[in-house]
Structure 1
Amino acid sequence: MDLSIELLKTFIVVVEEMNFTRAAERLYKTQSAVSLQMKRLSEEVGEPLFCRKGKTLALTEKGEKLRMYAVRILKSHEEACIGLSGSGVAGNITLGISDEYTPIIFTKILAGFAERYPNVSVGVVCKPSPELKKRVDENLLDIAILAEYESSGLLLRYEPMMWMASRTYAYDGGVVQLAVYPDYCIARNTGIEYLAKAGVPYRIAYETESSRLLRSAVKSGMAVSPVLSRVYRDDHYRQLGSEEGFPELPHIPVTLHRSKDRNDEVAEYLLEHIKKVFREI
């Protein structure tokens, strides 16, 4: 029996999603490729790993047993990679992000990368996506994570949007008071577009470049904001839906860009780490 790390990684993502289509999106693979990998893994184990309970995908008894082993194997593999290869990598690199993505960047990406590669210094630049794209193209920035519809970068994920409101907010059916980023922001423009299409009156009450100030305006209960939903999972906020008169928002592409001048191992390690984090969040 040969349980490859790649197959086990795919298996765990499928288990987490319990949906081959969503798992394929997280892994940047086609659904058929994921299905083929799971077929290969089942053949290695000698028994089916998944079964159907109605329309729901579930683990078989053997699949559940493999899940427990896979978690331990992948954890040991990660620790070995860190211990054997991480400490010898050194250098400097710059990473560009939009302000609204800073919670994920600092808690998930930078902290984990610093632990694995302590001798690499990462400089962070917070700017609007159009400015970050320009800097990468001009080789003034090494790597950038952008939220934009038209992009030549590597797709990290389609990020769902939501209408963010305070826990106490109640829409009275009148003019919606908005808290938004300036007009370069894709979430702002998308939210306004969908309000207009739905015939919902709105007013821009708060405009700021600061995610902290935007959250404060929403938390006060005086405004709502169209945002990337994964970024603002917090007990202080709730999501508004169609039952309250707000239109359903689309998913926004989040893409990864690299300067053509950065083809070294430091850039490769950071790129792979970012992709890994986005597969897991």
Structure 2
Amino acid sequence: MRNLDVTTLRSFVAVADSGGVTRAAGFLHLTQSAVSMQLKRLEEVLDVSLLDRSGRTIALTASGEQLLVYARRMVALNDEVIGRLTDQAYEGEIVLGVPHDIVYPAIPQVLKQFHAAFPRVKVHLVSSYTRALKDKFGRGECDVILTTETSLDAGAQTLCCKPLKWVGAPGGAAWRQKPLKLAFGRLCTFRPRVVEALDTAGIPWDVIVETESDRTIEATVSADLAIHTMIEGTEPPHLERIDHGGVLPDLPLQQINLYGAHSSKGVIHDTLADYLRRAFSAPEHPKLKAV
């Protein structure tokens, strides 16, 4: 009689979900060699090849795809049994990465709900730019991240699509100036598309504030010295959408994507991912196609 080890299955699911041993090792807080050894042991027990290692990235074989369905169920059932029979008080820490511009208004409510469900679990909130968050996620430094993008990577899930909107000071006139004065973050992923839209419309522009501080941008814009762009519904009370009557170009839709929702790290991880889905899922705009 051969028996499957749940720890090994958990590692297999993590590799399948993250697309590689290195990233899975970071999520599992194990060394890369330990995860590789577990996968090898699993293949030996089943006497099948689970991973196709012939390409530049790891892919599942047909046997691996079949096992993944069972592995998810077995890991989830294991966690459910442990939780119910031991009546454990969940403890620990989970790292959530969120871009600066979509922290409000949804994330405070998500954190409040999560704390009520797991009062002894610490959520370490990392707020940064999408590019930096994806790098951290790739190194296993974040368990779950949200991103704002116009595309979708493998393993991610689009929660909603919303348009970028021009924002300025309440009752401001900065949007009427020529050249148009802009305030942007140095690593802002919106900026290239905003500039492209302005160039296409033949509108001269000038970036007068380039910073890594959202507070600096908001102070400049609220003083009516420049304008900015934000995802619809995320603008703070001291800024407002500009009613420009078509003078400024329309801006592209942005996807709010969720990474790490299927890493099978247990009920804590799954619950946080579910709260994020509920907070951001909104069928207001058509979804963009993944690339």
- Which of 171, 188, 210 is matched with 1:168 structurally? 171
User: What amino acid does structure 1 have at the position aligned with 2:144?
Assistant: I
SS at match of 1:243: coil
Residue 129 of structure 1: aligned partner: 130
- Which of 168, 180, 183 is matched with 2:184 structurally? 180
The 8 Å contact of residues 159 and 228 in structure 1, kept in 2 or not, is answered as yes
In 2, Cα distance between equivalents of 1:172 and 1:257: 39
In 1, Cα distance between equivalents of 2:125 and 2:245: 40
Deviations 1:82-133, CA, capped at 9 Å, x for gaps: xxxx994433100011122222354222122212321221001122211211
The 8 Å contact of residues 136 and 259 in structure 1, kept in 2 or not, is answered as no
Counterparts of 1:30-49 in structure 2 under 5 Å?
none
Q: What runs of 5+ residues in structure 1 fail to find an aligned partner?
A: 1-85
SS at match of 2:168: strand
Deviations 1:38-81, CA, capped at 9 Å, x for gaps: xxxxxxxxxxxxxxxxxxxxxxxxxxxxxxxxxxxxxxxxxxxx
Residue 111 of structure 1: aligned partner: 112
In 2, Cα distance between equivalents of 1:173 and 1:223: 9
Q: Does 1:273 align with 2:275?
A: yes
The structure in which a higher percent of residues are helix is: 1
Residue 97 of structure 1: aligned partner: 98
In 2, Cα distance between equivalents of 1:88 and 1:203: 55
Shift of residue 173 of structure 1? 4.7
> Aligned pair in 2 of structure 1 residues 117, 87: CA closer, same or farther (>3 Å)?
farther
Counterparts of 1:31-70 in structure 2 under 5 Å?
none
- Report the number of matched residues: 194
In 1, Cα distance between equivalents of 2:234 and 2:99: 12
> Aligned pair in 2 of structure 1 residues 134, 154: CA closer, same or farther (>3 Å)?
same
Residue 243 of structure 1: aligned partner: 245
Deviations 1:127-165, CA, capped at 9 Å, x for gaps: 221121122122121110001122221001102210001
Percent sequence identity over matched residues?
Answer: 21
> Aligned pair in 2 of structure 1 residues 87, 99: CA closer, same or farther (>3 Å)?
farther
- Which of 212, 219, 224 is matched with 2:215 structurally? 212
Shift of residue 247 of structure 1? 0.7
In 2, Cα distance between equivalents of 1:231 and 1:186: 16
Shift of residue 260 of structure 1? 7.3
> Aligned pair in 2 of structure 1 residues 253, 246: CA closer, same or farther (>3 Å)?
same
> Aligned pair in 2 of structure 1 residues 115, 194: CA closer, same or farther (>3 Å)?
same
Between 163-172 and 249-258, report the one with greater CA deviation. Answer: 163-172
Q: What runs of 5+ residues in structure 2 fail to find an aligned partner?
A: 1-86, 284-291
The 8 Å contact of residues 188 and 227 in structure 1, kept in 2 or not, is answered as no
User: What amino acid does structure 2 have at the position aligned with 1:137?
Assistant: G
Q: TM-score, normalised by structure 2?
A: 0.61
Residue 142 of structure 2: aligned partner: 141
> Aligned pair in 2 of structure 1 residues 239, 87: CA closer, same or farther (>3 Å)?
farther
SS at match of 1:266: helix
Residue 157 of structure 2: aligned partner: 154
In 2, Cα distance between equivalents of 1:248 and 1:260: 35
Shift of residue 269 of structure 1? 0.8
